[in-house]
Structure 1
Amino acid sequence: MNERPASDRADQPLRSAVVLGGSHAGMLAARALAGFVDKVTVVERDALPDGPGPRRNLPQARHAHMLWSGGVRALEDLVPGAAERLSAAGAHRQAVTTDMVILSPQGWFRRWPVSHRNLLCSRDLLDATVRAAVLDDARVELVERTEVLGLVGTGAAVTGVRVRHDDGTERVLDAGLVVDATGRSSRAPGWLAALGLPEPRRRVVDSGLAYASRVYRAPEGARRGYPVVSVTADTRQEGPGRSAFLLPIEDGKWIVTLSGTRGGEPSPHNDDFVRFAREELRHPAVGELLTHAEPLGDVVFTRSTANRRYFYERMPRWPENFTVVGDALAVYNPVYGHGMTIAAQSAVVLREVIRRRGWGAPGLARRVQKALARPVGTAWDLATGQDVFYEGATESGPTLRDRVVAAYVNRVLLTATGNGRIARRLTDVTSLERGPEVLLTPGVLLAAAFGPLKPPLEGAPLTAEERKAAGL
């Protein structure tokens, strides 16, 4: 639906937008903007594949990804029918917590009745599906193999970007709004400094986490409808935190990601992958499931897992016509799986602020940046609230507030292992459907004080059929 105002007067702001970056966040931002302008130009430094396939400058795509139900809702809002198309291509609609086998720091979660539905697939499939839908809109143009050199304009207003194509030619793309979705490698702080603006406040919480991932062909009986299996770290214990995630994806595959903080990192070597999963974690469930699974490639290893956030919304001055979204704004420890969901929700925020204020309204970009701080802040608190307890994550260690919040969250987690109503409230927050304030209602506070209603489970809640299907 075209949402741009009917007025076409010559003195109206330029009805074009430029989105820097053609990955998940960039494509969804382009989708959000297309209803307000005549043209959205997506500038991408890579050559994007025609279908699902690897990208040179997206190494994190080789690791496990999940679109939480809050992200599924946002994606469907922006690209109606996307979830159905992904399911048709083999993605799994995971019932929470019915299709999840999770060892939390407080014990095994029960497989409660369905409360939310997440989406599981490879990052390549997700990106290709979203990209095809967005580029099917004639108002969106993709410019590939093109490097962004910097912003054009002043500290008061951005008027476009200067780019260089792969043949060496340079040009300026004029725009009524420029959106930086260039991800972790964003150069926005330097671009803003070149316009005479102050350096933004930045915070980094780095648990020292290393990630090792491998794709497997699931045993024949476990190639459809198998649950997610997760063994999470317990930050209350001394020493490094080690975790494992097994996620069913398309084509009868499992993607398995192992992780460990400083001193407990998994090995990048193929022959140590299963051993780590069986021997180094709090429970060997994931390693046992890999016994009869077939590895389909080598282990992929990374250390790019630090939480990093720029507080652009707090800058004393902000230029008109420029905003920052996605990983360019904040990145989170991927163990929590919130990055793609926040990217989708941020695109919805971008659209809604423009819809309310009007295209080209004074202060629009600053309003967008401030509005983005809410979803970004929720994911940030969920990630750093745990990571801050690992040695060396920050210079000063956890604050008193960090300790008080963590103590209460741990109590809620314990209660959720034996109380389905509290498990649902907790999932409301972790799935990014609702804010953390729902955990502070009188009913939740009372339930947390009382504790779990059912005794703890003694082992992983896999059914007999699931164990048999995996060859256990």
Structure 2
Amino acid sequence: MTHQPTGHTRAVILGGSLAGTLAAAALAPHVAEVLVLERDRTLPETAAPRPRLPQAAHAHMLWSGGADAIEDLLPGTTDRWLGAGAHRIPIPNGMVSYSAAGWYRRWSETHYLIGASRDLIDWGVRTAALAIPNVRVRTGMTVTSLVGDASKVTGVRVRGEGKEGKEESVIDADLVVDTTGRGSKVLEWLAQIGGPVVEETVVDAGVRYASRRYRAPEGAEADWPVIHIQADPREGKPGQVVSIISIEDGQWHVSLSGTRGGEPTADEALFEEFARAVRHPLAAEFLARAEPISDVVVYGRTANRQRRFEKAAMPAGFVVLGDAATSLNPVYGHGMSAAALGAVALRDTAAKTPVNAPEFAAQAQKAVVRPADAAWLLAVGQDRFYPGTIGKAPSLADKLAARYVHRLSRTAIGNFHVVKALTDVMTMKKPASVLGKPGVLFAAARGLRRPLLKGPELTEREQSILDREPLLRGPHEDAGRVGR
């Protein structure tokens, strides 16, 4: 049931990005007012970049688990994205993926992802959330501290720009939700009010991104698969990855990434060379037939960081959601989906317990962390194994789990039941526990039902792109053709 707000119940959301606007949508049915406080002076009314979202320049995967959660919170958002040029890409048949175990077959559709720029995804959510009647936003607001004490947060102190210059004021709230991302000052804010010390774990593989956009070749602007060449953590060397994702305006969003010791650079001349040097040159062959239309942008704040607020004696009236609680290496594409599923958990908690009840925040914090925990395990289960990773070394249990996942990945190449289970977990539609079900265990023990593929499965249309001459002749002009 939905608890109808009594009196003037106010929820204050810190941050107006994806996690913040989803939190606003989650709480709107359960409070009289939702106030979003955003540090930027303006929020774009179109799918335009935001100055405090540098990671938006890199390719994003919004898996079906996250997209479905957003649609649940804000019905019609998927149509808004697609109407603005985003793509609904079926999985696994819409993905040409070279895993650590080999090439995946392109089985029939079980899931999907949204192919779009981060700017477009944020715009679609922001437009819907800020249209809710009891949601409003104040821009140009910098949060300087929490108001309250170790037992309860009662609001926030903010600094805004007024006629007299920088003006400080207090905004009262029945609930404060921090969604300010990786740069959150939440630990500092808690210390200022005598709050708890929060357990924090960091696993940092030193991942660096380099991304640019290409104009898709003629005939490849739509209904185009994700091209994804993964790293193999078992090789004992830096992991290097390349992904090509179709986005709006007939463009490909291309991201390279490398762990510590194997990072890409911002040098445009080396961009496609890096793509060619990963475990298979397929992506580079496609890029050689597409036109780059942007500069190369690099980004390096990619450490996995987990703060266990749900285990601490947190003050009532305060919840932390999104990257401020659990930030993830973006290469696995789970940040947006984890935030969306966390917002659904926040909404569902508010449907059971009034947001101004003393126990609400603790219940909500435990609920929102569950999808984030699942994404955390997927990320650190790989990142711990790369050379130079900062953080706890893999335990025996970690090594056994990694061996089992590799076995599943290999089995999935020839077993639809296993690829369905792995994709359930990867797209965040189901928890990782499904990989331990008897049918999956039996399939893993039995092994491949069909042989490994010798190369990527390409359609005639996809192969026809590779059959064209490269647009620019260079040192790789005599490289062998990929595919047939």
Counterpart residue number, 2:24: 30
Deviation at 1:137, TM superposition (A): 1.4
Select the residue among 282, 300, 305 that pairs with 1:303.
Answer: 300
- Which of 153, 166, 169 matches 2:167? 169
Contact 2:206 2:303 in 1 (8 A): yes
The residue matched to 2:288 in structure 1 has which SS?
A: helix
1:349 paired to 2:348: no
- Alignment match of 1:238 (pick from 218, 236, 239): 236
Deviation at 1:170, TM superposition (A): 1.3
1:398 is aligned, of 394, 398, 412, to 394
Deviations 1:83-136 (A, max 9, x none): 111111111111000100000000000000000121110000111111111111
Residue in structure 1 matched with residue 109 of structure 2 by the alignment: 114
Q: TM-score, normalised by structure 2?
A: 0.94
Identity of aligned residues (%): 48
Paired with 1:100 and 1:291, the residues of 2 have a C-alpha distance of: 19
Q: Cα deviation per residue 1:392-432 (whole Å; 9 max; x = unaligned)?
A: 32344211111011011111111001111110011000110
**What is the CA–CA distance in structure 1 between the aligned matches of 2:327 and 2:280, rounded to whole Å?**
29
| Matches of 1:298 and 1:144, distance apart in 2 | 30
Residues 178 and 469 from structure 1, CA distance in 2 versus in 1: closer, same or farther, beyond 3 angstroms?
same
1:296 positional shift: 1.0
Partner of 1:325: 321
Partner of 1:376: 372
Local SS of the residue matching 2:29: coil
Q: Is the Cα–Cα contact under 8 Å of residues 18 and 178 in structure 1 kept in the other structure?
A: yes
Matched length: 464
Cα pair 1:74 1:344 within 8 Å, conserved: yes
Shift of 1:470: 5.2
Q: 2-side partners of 1:137 and 1:239: how far apart?
A: 50
Give the equivalent residue in structure 2 for 1:422.
418
1:191 partner letter: W
Aligned equivalents of 2:296, 2:9: Cα separation in 1: 46
Give the CA deviation at 1:356: 1.1
Q: Is the 8 A contact 1:219 1:470 kept in 2?
A: no
Q: CA deviation at 1:4?
A: 3.9
Q: 1:7 to 1:198 in 2, by over 3 A?
A: closer
Answering whether residue 80 of structure 2 is matched by residue 85 of structure 1, we say: yes
Q: Counterpart amino acid of 2:386?
A: Y
Match of 1:437 among 422, 433, 439: 433
Structure 2 CA distance for partners of 1:6 and 1:373, relative to 1, 3 Å: closer
Contact 2:147 2:153 in 1 (8 A): yes
Separation in structure 2 between the aligned mates of residue 56 and residue 85 of structure 1, nearest angstrom: 23
Alpha-carbon spacing, 1:21–1:349, altered in 2? closer, same or farther (3 Å): same
Of 44, 68, 72, which residue of structure 2 is paired with 1:73?
68
Question: In the alignment, which residue of structure 2 is the partner of 1:11?
Answer: none
Pick the aligned partner of 2:225 from 224, 227, 231: 227
Contact 1:385 / 1:402 at 8 angstroms: preserved in 2?
Answer: yes
For 2:132 and 2:238, how far apart are their aligned partners in 1?
48
> How far 1:182 sits from its partner (Å)?
0.3
What residue is the counterpart of 1:248 in the other structure?
246
- Whether the aligned pair in 1 keeps the contact of 2:286 and 2:465 (CA below 8 Å) is no
For 1:336 and 1:415, how far apart are their aligned partners in 2?
Answer: 20
Alpha-carbon RMSD across the aligned residues, in angstroms, is: 1.2
Which stretch of the first structure deviates more once superposed, 252-261 or 164-173? 164-173
- Contiguous gaps of at least 5 residues in structure 2: 469-484
Contact 2:229 2:280 in 1 (8 A): yes
Larger mean Cα displacement after TM superposition, 99-108 or 198-207: 198-207
Whole-Å Cα distance in 2 between the matches of residues 163 and 6 of structure 1?
A: 25
SS in 2 for 1:220: coil
> Deviations along 1:181-207, whole A, 9 cap, x unmatched?
000110111111111122211011011
Distance (Å, rounded) in 2 between the aligned partners of 1:381 and 1:396 = 13
Segments of 5+ residues of structure 1 without an aligned counterpart are 9-13
Query: What amino acid maps onto 1:347 in structure 2?
Result: A
What does residue 479 of structure 2 align with?
A: none
- Aligned partners of 1:239 and 1:98: how far apart in 2? 30
Q: Deviations over 1:238-294 (max 9, x none)?
A: 21111100000011100000111112111211111011111x200001100001211
Aligned match of 2:125: 130
Aligned to 1:101: 96
Compute the displacement of 1:7 (Å). 4.7
Distance in 2 (CA, whole Å) between partners of 1:396 and 1:55 is: 35
1:466 Cα shift?
Answer: 1.0
